[in-house]
Structure 1
Amino acid sequence: MAWVVSTGSMTSTPVRAVNSTGAGSLMAVASMSCVQLGLAASIGLAATLGSDGVAWLRLAWAAVILVAFARPWRLRFSRSTLVMCALLGLATAGMTLSFMRAVETIPLGTASALEFTGPLAVALVQGRGAGRWWAVAAAAGVLGLTEPWSGSADLVGVLYALGGAVCWAAYVLLTQRAGDAVDGVGALSVSMPVAALAATLVVGPGVAGRLDLPVLAIGLGLALLLPVVPFCLELLALRRLAASAFGTLMCLEPAIAATVGVVFLRQVPSMAALAGLVLVIAAGIGAARTGRRDPAGAERELQPAAPARQPG
């Protein structure tokens, strides 16, 4: 995190602060890249397990890893915090299942940008008056991404992506509440098993017969790519970046998703979709820069915080 040292009329910025900020930015970009690479790899496994099965397998492995790492039975939770973490788990399950369904029929970049409208909506609602103009830009971006005038986008896929956006918005709000009571790893060590259990109840019985050792091994690798490694990278990045800078960087995730889609999945966006992507990213950056902050939040901006998303 950046800081300055003043001596009389002289002000200098330590080189290590600049290096720390640069390292934090690289970690944030690496986190988003892991997320999107994990999603691209998940699409390949969906041919074997189906999109629901892949989502369930990732959540199940992530739950095992996080419980083993955080050992939640050694932490103290109030009843209200446990409820908050359980709701967080349900939001995570809904987000993961919805997004995997979406990328079955629409490009990865389009699905990511549409899902990003969830946290963007939260930022706009919590922001200052200028936020309404960013809302217009975001709405125009959604139109460009879906191209309703051409009917080229699969409506079911779009609806699943928007359902994921609703779950992501709920995740952001619940994370803000849970983060006041327990650290990020502690919250995840409860919410992720809940997410895995919810996914098991929905899709687990239909997937069990298709599991074998190679599939389980691939699922473990996917869980490391998303969400375990990204979460760790985000925690490290937040130790080096102000929350506003981190939030701005995260707005680039739809662009990273589109790049991964082009390179690994050969999903080349149309000009309208590309313009929509740019508008959604611009709206996200604008909302992050004009968001309302209370005095307590301003003090917390220089403190590590739990990541504000755990995308599908």
Structure 2
Amino acid sequence: MAERGAGGGKRQKRHVSGWEQREQPAALRRNRWAPALLLGAGISQYVGASLAVGLFAAAPALAVGWGRIAGAAILLLLWRRTLPRDSNEDFSWRVLGAAAIFGLALGAMNLTFYLAIDRIPLGTAVSLEYLGPVVLAVATGRGWKTRLGAALAIGGVFLISWAGVDLGDADVAAGVTAALAAGAFWALYIWLGRRVAVGGRGLDSLAWAMTVAALVYAPLGVGDFAPIATNLRSLVLMLAVAALSSVLPYGVDQIVMRSLRASTFALLSSLLPATSLLVGLVVLRQVPNAAEVLGLIAISAAVALATSPQVPESS
């Protein structure tokens, strides 16, 4: 609606619903804890990814990626046994459909990411994948900060992809391509995930999203999953990967996304590439070179600029 000032000018005023008013105190608390929550979730996610790398000796990357999705679906359904509902606690086919589409994006993000880390170091893969949120931030913002952020992102990609890795190696080039594809799906995950979070009971929707992903992508991984399914140690490790890399971090995302815009969430996600680099160094002994570190810094700075509060954001 519009308000008319003394000088006759019009100012647009956003209508705030009663549900939003009730959510505001809880949203403020979530905002304060969001960085710490996402940092903890990032550590969990990439410790899980490091464990998954150890399973690549038993099964192909797609089979391990599918196992992570299927394991997470089982754990989430055991925890959240109700159908997803809207903000009025009513069952809605629209909410269920949104969860299904979200699941397709989430599953594609996981599978392409595992194809990447099977070929290139974890920190490099996550840095390249992070270009997805950069593009999302640029698409939802305007001004000089966004343009500078885009330039930094391009510089970061050059340092990591061309100066930081050997693209003459066909296997490495395939890993870089897979990481960039995962980045596109990560941007879609953020965009769809926020709508799932604010449109109903996000954790219930996440459970059904994972279930849809496990069923749809089963043909890509189930055929090669037998070596893991028939080995107790590998199966327990697979469930640990599902819990650490999917259930915990994506559950945290659904809680945090309820009170943050998509581009603001992308800003806080800048913690994840740094986290993956640290986990890759400590757990996998993957030491980044100077170019990779500079590229990581450039990409993180790009998102920080593109999604800063001063830049107009789209919800």
Match of 1:275 among 294, 298, 302: 294
Matched, 1:293 2:313: yes
- Distance verdict in 2 for CA 1:118–1:222, change over 3 Å: same
Partner of 2:267: 248
- AA matched with 2:202: G
Distance 1:181 1:21 in 2: 18
- AA matched with 1:32: G
Distance 2:265 2:108 in 1: 25
CA contact (8 A) 1:90 1:194 kept: yes
Same amino acid, percent of matched pairs: 31
Match of 2:110 among 96, 107, 110: 96
Partner of 1:36: 46
Partner of 1:73: 83
Distance 1:204 1:238 in 2: 32
- Distance verdict in 2 for CA 1:77–1:128, change over 3 Å: farther
Match of 2:178 among 150, 160, 165: 160
Q: After TM superposition, give the deviation of residue 203 of structure 1 in Å.
A: 1.6
- AA matched with 2:151: V
TM-score (norm 2): 0.79
SS of the counterpart of 2:199? coil
Matched, 1:62 2:62: no
- AA matched with 2:149: W
CA contact (8 A) 1:137 1:280 kept: yes
- Distance verdict in 2 for CA 1:56–1:114, change over 3 Å: same
Distance 2:221 2:166 in 1: 34
Q: Which sections of structure 1, spanning at least 5 residues, go unmatched? A: 1-17, 298-312
Distance 1:209 1:69 in 2: 27
- Distance verdict in 2 for CA 1:188–1:23, change over 3 Å: closer
CA contact (8 A) 2:159 2:292 kept: yes
- Distance verdict in 2 for CA 1:192–1:291, change over 3 Å: farther
- AA matched with 1:40: S
Partner of 2:277: 258
Distance 1:142 1:93 in 2: 24
Show CA shifts across 1:59-78 (max 9, x none).
Answer: 11110111122223374443
Deviates more, 1:168-177 or 1:18-27: 18-27
Match of 2:217 among 194, 199, 203: 199
Distance 2:227 2:167 in 1: 37
Match of 1:222 among 231, 241, 253: 241
Q: Which sections of structure 2, spanning at least 5 residues, go unmatched? A: 1-27
Partner of 2:191: 173
Show CA shifts across 1:11-40 (max 9, x none).
Answer: xxxxxxx99877553332111111111111
- AA matched with 1:104: D
Deviates more, 1:153-162 or 1:177-186: 177-186
Q: After TM superposition, give the deviation of residue 81 of structure 1 in Å.
A: 2.8
Distance 2:64 2:159 in 1: 29
